[in-house]
Amino acid sequence: MKILQLLSNPLLLTKKIYGRILRAYNLYILKDEFTVEVTRWFRDKGDETLRLDYPELNEESIVFDLGGYKGDFAYALNEKYGCTVYVFEPHPKYYDACMQRFLSNDKVVPFNYGLSDKDGKFLLSDSVDGSSFLNPNHQDKNAIECEVKEIFSVLKKLEISNINLMKINIEGGEYPILLHMISEDKLSLVDNYQIQFHNFIENADSLRNNITEGLLKTHVRTWCYTFVWENWKRK
Protein backbone atom coordinates (compact mmCIF):
# COMPACT_ATOMS: atom_id res chain seq x y z
CA MET A 1 0.00 0.00 0.00
CA LYS A 2 2.82 2.42 0.91
CA ILE A 3 4.65 1.61 -2.33
CA LEU A 4 1.53 2.37 -4.33
CA GLN A 5 1.07 5.66 -2.47
CA LEU A 6 4.66 6.66 -3.24
CA LEU A 7 4.35 5.73 -6.90
CA SER A 8 1.17 7.75 -7.19
CA ASN A 9 2.79 10.79 -5.58
CA PRO A 10 6.02 11.77 -7.43
CA LEU A 11 6.74 14.66 -5.05
CA LEU A 12 6.52 12.42 -1.99
CA LEU A 13 8.68 9.81 -3.73
CA THR A 14 11.29 12.43 -4.55
CA LYS A 15 11.37 13.59 -0.94
CA LYS A 16 11.78 10.02 0.28
CA ILE A 17 14.66 9.33 -2.11
CA TYR A 18 16.32 12.63 -1.26
CA GLY A 19 15.98 11.89 2.46
CA ARG A 20 17.63 8.50 2.09
CA ILE A 21 20.48 9.93 0.01
CA LEU A 22 21.02 12.69 2.54
CA ARG A 23 21.06 10.22 5.44
CA ALA A 24 23.52 7.97 3.60
CA TYR A 25 25.73 10.95 2.86
CA ASN A 26 25.71 12.06 6.48
CA LEU A 27 26.33 8.51 7.71
CA TYR A 28 29.02 7.31 5.33
CA ILE A 29 30.69 10.50 4.11
CA LEU A 30 30.39 13.28 6.65
CA LYS A 31 31.30 10.97 9.53
CA ASP A 32 34.76 10.63 7.96
CA GLU A 33 36.29 13.89 9.09
CA PHE A 34 39.52 13.22 7.24
CA THR A 35 37.74 12.84 3.88
CA VAL A 36 35.85 16.05 4.52
CA GLU A 37 39.06 17.90 5.41
CA VAL A 38 40.95 16.60 2.37
CA THR A 39 38.09 17.66 0.12
CA ARG A 40 38.05 21.09 1.72
CA TRP A 41 41.84 21.39 1.34
CA PHE A 42 41.78 20.69 -2.39
CA ARG A 43 38.73 22.88 -2.88
CA ASP A 44 40.64 25.76 -1.27
CA LYS A 45 43.79 24.94 -3.29
CA GLY A 46 45.81 24.89 -0.10
CA ASP A 47 49.01 23.61 -1.68
CA GLU A 48 49.17 26.58 -4.03
CA THR A 49 47.94 29.20 -1.56
CA LEU A 50 48.14 28.66 2.20
CA ARG A 51 51.31 26.56 2.24
CA LEU A 52 53.25 29.25 0.40
CA ASP A 53 51.71 32.33 2.01
CA TYR A 54 54.33 33.72 4.41
CA PRO A 55 54.77 37.38 3.46
CA GLU A 56 57.03 37.96 6.46
CA LEU A 57 59.72 35.76 4.90
CA ASN A 58 62.63 37.44 3.12
CA GLU A 59 66.21 36.81 2.04
CA GLU A 60 67.36 36.76 5.66
CA SER A 61 64.79 34.16 6.75
CA ILE A 62 65.55 30.58 7.73
CA VAL A 63 63.21 27.72 6.85
CA PHE A 64 63.47 24.12 8.03
CA ASP A 65 61.90 21.57 5.68
CA LEU A 66 61.41 18.31 7.62
CA GLY A 67 60.61 15.57 5.12
CA GLY A 68 61.98 17.31 2.06
CA TYR A 69 61.18 14.53 -0.42
CA LYS A 70 62.26 15.83 -3.86
CA GLY A 71 62.58 19.45 -2.77
CA ASP A 72 59.41 20.92 -4.25
CA PHE A 73 58.46 22.89 -1.13
CA ALA A 74 62.03 24.10 -0.60
CA TYR A 75 62.22 25.23 -4.21
CA ALA A 76 58.90 27.10 -4.03
CA LEU A 77 59.78 28.96 -0.82
CA ASN A 78 63.28 29.86 -1.95
CA GLU A 79 62.03 30.98 -5.35
CA LYS A 80 59.29 33.15 -3.85
CA TYR A 81 61.10 34.73 -0.90
CA GLY A 82 64.82 34.13 -1.44
CA CYS A 83 65.06 32.56 2.02
CA THR A 84 67.58 29.94 3.14
CA VAL A 85 66.02 26.48 3.36
CA TYR A 86 67.55 23.57 5.25
CA VAL A 87 66.11 20.34 3.87
CA PHE A 88 66.13 17.25 6.09
CA GLU A 89 65.52 14.13 4.02
CA PRO A 90 66.72 10.77 5.40
CA HIS A 91 65.96 8.69 2.33
CA PRO A 92 69.19 8.52 0.25
CA LYS A 93 67.35 8.52 -3.08
CA TYR A 94 65.42 11.68 -2.32
CA TYR A 95 68.37 13.29 -0.60
CA ASP A 96 70.40 12.71 -3.79
CA ALA A 97 67.56 14.21 -5.82
CA CYS A 98 67.65 17.32 -3.63
CA MET A 99 71.42 17.55 -3.89
CA GLN A 100 71.25 17.45 -7.67
CA ARG A 101 68.34 19.86 -7.84
CA PHE A 102 70.01 22.50 -5.67
CA LEU A 103 73.59 21.95 -6.74
CA SER A 104 73.95 25.54 -7.93
CA ASN A 105 71.83 27.09 -5.15
CA ASP A 106 73.73 27.57 -1.91
CA LYS A 107 70.62 28.86 -0.16
CA VAL A 108 68.97 25.42 -0.19
CA VAL A 109 70.99 23.01 1.94
CA PRO A 110 70.00 19.31 2.03
CA PHE A 111 70.93 16.95 4.87
CA ASN A 112 70.76 13.16 4.62
CA TYR A 113 69.09 12.64 7.98
CA GLY A 114 65.85 13.51 9.72
CA LEU A 115 65.24 15.47 12.90
CA SER A 116 63.69 13.87 15.96
CA ASP A 117 63.71 13.77 19.75
CA LYS A 118 66.94 11.77 19.88
CA ASP A 119 69.73 10.38 17.72
CA GLY A 120 69.00 7.02 16.17
CA LYS A 121 68.45 4.75 13.20
CA PHE A 122 65.21 3.55 11.68
CA LEU A 123 64.03 1.40 8.79
CA LEU A 124 62.51 3.40 5.98
CA SER A 125 60.18 1.66 3.56
CA ASP A 126 61.38 2.00 -0.01
CA SER A 127 57.90 1.41 -1.41
CA VAL A 128 56.46 4.75 -0.29
CA ASP A 129 57.62 8.33 -0.23
CA GLY A 130 60.84 9.16 1.52
CA SER A 131 59.37 10.38 4.78
CA SER A 132 57.29 7.40 5.86
CA PHE A 133 59.32 5.99 8.68
CA LEU A 134 56.91 5.62 11.57
CA ASN A 135 54.02 3.86 9.86
CA PRO A 136 53.74 0.50 11.64
CA ASN A 137 51.97 -1.02 8.64
CA HIS A 138 54.98 -0.70 6.36
CA GLN A 139 56.44 -4.11 5.59
CA ASP A 140 59.13 -3.84 2.96
CA LYS A 141 61.90 -6.39 2.51
CA ASN A 142 63.91 -3.66 0.79
CA ALA A 143 63.60 -1.21 3.69
CA ILE A 144 66.60 1.09 4.08
CA GLU A 145 68.27 1.99 7.36
CA CYS A 146 68.26 5.76 7.78
CA GLU A 147 69.34 8.25 10.40
CA VAL A 148 67.73 10.86 12.62
CA LYS A 149 69.44 13.38 14.86
CA GLU A 150 68.23 15.19 17.96
CA ILE A 151 66.98 18.59 16.87
CA PHE A 152 68.71 20.80 19.43
CA SER A 153 72.11 19.27 18.80
CA VAL A 154 71.64 20.08 15.11
CA LEU A 155 70.59 23.65 15.87
CA LYS A 156 73.67 24.09 18.02
CA LYS A 157 75.95 22.74 15.30
CA LEU A 158 74.35 25.00 12.68
CA GLU A 159 74.47 27.95 15.12
CA ILE A 160 70.78 28.68 14.57
CA SER A 161 68.75 30.22 17.39
CA ASN A 162 65.57 31.12 15.49
CA ILE A 163 63.66 29.43 12.68
CA ASN A 164 61.17 31.54 10.75
CA LEU A 165 59.23 28.59 9.36
CA MET A 166 59.37 24.88 10.12
CA LYS A 167 57.42 22.65 7.77
CA ILE A 168 56.90 19.14 9.16
CA ASN A 169 55.72 16.24 7.02
CA ILE A 170 57.44 13.15 8.37
CA GLU A 171 54.68 10.55 8.49
CA GLY A 172 54.31 10.19 12.25
CA GLY A 173 57.66 11.64 13.26
CA GLU A 174 55.94 14.93 14.06
CA TYR A 175 54.75 13.56 17.39
CA PRO A 176 58.09 12.74 19.07
CA ILE A 177 59.87 15.85 17.84
CA LEU A 178 57.11 18.29 18.83
CA LEU A 179 56.56 16.63 22.21
CA HIS A 180 60.32 16.87 22.75
CA MET A 181 60.28 20.58 21.94
CA ILE A 182 57.39 21.06 24.36
CA SER A 183 59.16 19.17 27.15
CA GLU A 184 62.26 21.33 26.63
CA ASP A 185 60.15 24.51 26.49
CA LYS A 186 61.60 25.35 23.08
CA LEU A 187 58.55 25.79 20.85
CA SER A 188 59.15 29.54 20.73
CA LEU A 189 62.33 28.99 18.69
CA VAL A 190 60.07 28.74 15.63
CA ASP A 191 57.93 31.60 14.29
CA ASN A 192 55.63 29.42 12.18
CA TYR A 193 54.94 25.70 12.28
CA GLN A 194 53.37 24.18 9.18
CA ILE A 195 52.45 20.66 10.29
CA GLN A 196 50.90 17.62 8.70
CA PHE A 197 49.70 15.40 11.53
CA HIS A 198 49.10 11.76 10.58
CA ASN A 199 46.19 9.73 11.85
CA PHE A 200 47.58 6.23 11.25
CA ILE A 201 49.71 6.49 14.39
CA GLU A 202 48.27 4.83 17.50
CA ASN A 203 46.54 7.40 19.74
CA ALA A 204 47.03 10.06 17.07
CA ASP A 205 44.09 12.15 18.30
CA SER A 206 45.37 12.18 21.86
CA LEU A 207 48.94 12.97 20.78
CA ARG A 208 47.77 15.79 18.53
CA ASN A 209 45.64 17.20 21.33
CA ASN A 210 48.62 17.19 23.69
CA ILE A 211 50.75 19.01 21.14
CA THR A 212 47.93 21.48 20.48
CA GLU A 213 47.77 22.30 24.18
CA GLY A 214 51.50 22.95 24.18
CA LEU A 215 51.40 25.10 21.06
CA LEU A 216 48.55 27.22 22.40
CA LYS A 217 50.88 28.58 25.09
CA THR A 218 53.23 30.16 22.56
CA HIS A 219 51.45 30.18 19.19
CA VAL A 220 48.10 30.87 17.53
CA ARG A 221 46.62 28.48 15.00
CA THR A 222 46.05 30.57 11.87
CA TRP A 223 44.44 27.88 9.71
CA CYS A 224 43.64 24.22 10.09
CA TYR A 225 42.53 21.26 7.99
CA THR A 226 42.52 18.48 10.56
CA PHE A 227 45.10 15.75 9.82
CA VAL A 228 45.83 17.38 6.47
CA TRP A 229 47.76 20.61 7.13
CA GLU A 230 47.67 23.29 9.79
CA ASN A 231 49.70 26.37 10.65
CA TRP A 232 50.73 27.84 14.01
CA LYS A 233 52.16 31.37 14.29
CA ARG A 234 54.08 32.59 17.32
CA LYS A 235 52.20 35.09 19.48
Give me the tens of pLDDT residue by residue for the chain, a chain 235 residues long. Answer: 455 665 566 666 576 666 566 545 544 556 678 878 888 899 999 999 999 999 999 999 999 999 999 999 999 999 999 999 999 999 999 999 999 999 999 999 999 999 999 999 988 776 554 444 554 455 566 778 889 999 999 999 999 999 999 999 998 999 999 999 999 999 999 999 999 999 989 999 999 999 999 999 999 999 999 999 999 999 9
Give pLDDT, residue 46: 97
Give pLDDT, residue 123: 80
Query: Which residues make up the CATH 3.40.50.150 domain(s) of the chain?
Result: 56-234
| The one-letter amino acid at 195 | I
The arrangement of strands across the sheet holding 144-150 comes to 114-116, 144-150, 120-124
Cα angle 114, 120, 123; round to 5: 75
Q: What radius of gyration do the chain's Cα atoms show?
A: 22
The pTM is what? Answer: 0.84
Residue 55 neighbours by CB under 8 Å, 6+ apart: none
| Topology of the domain comprising 56-234 | Rossmann fold (3.40.50)
Give pLDDT, residue 1: 46
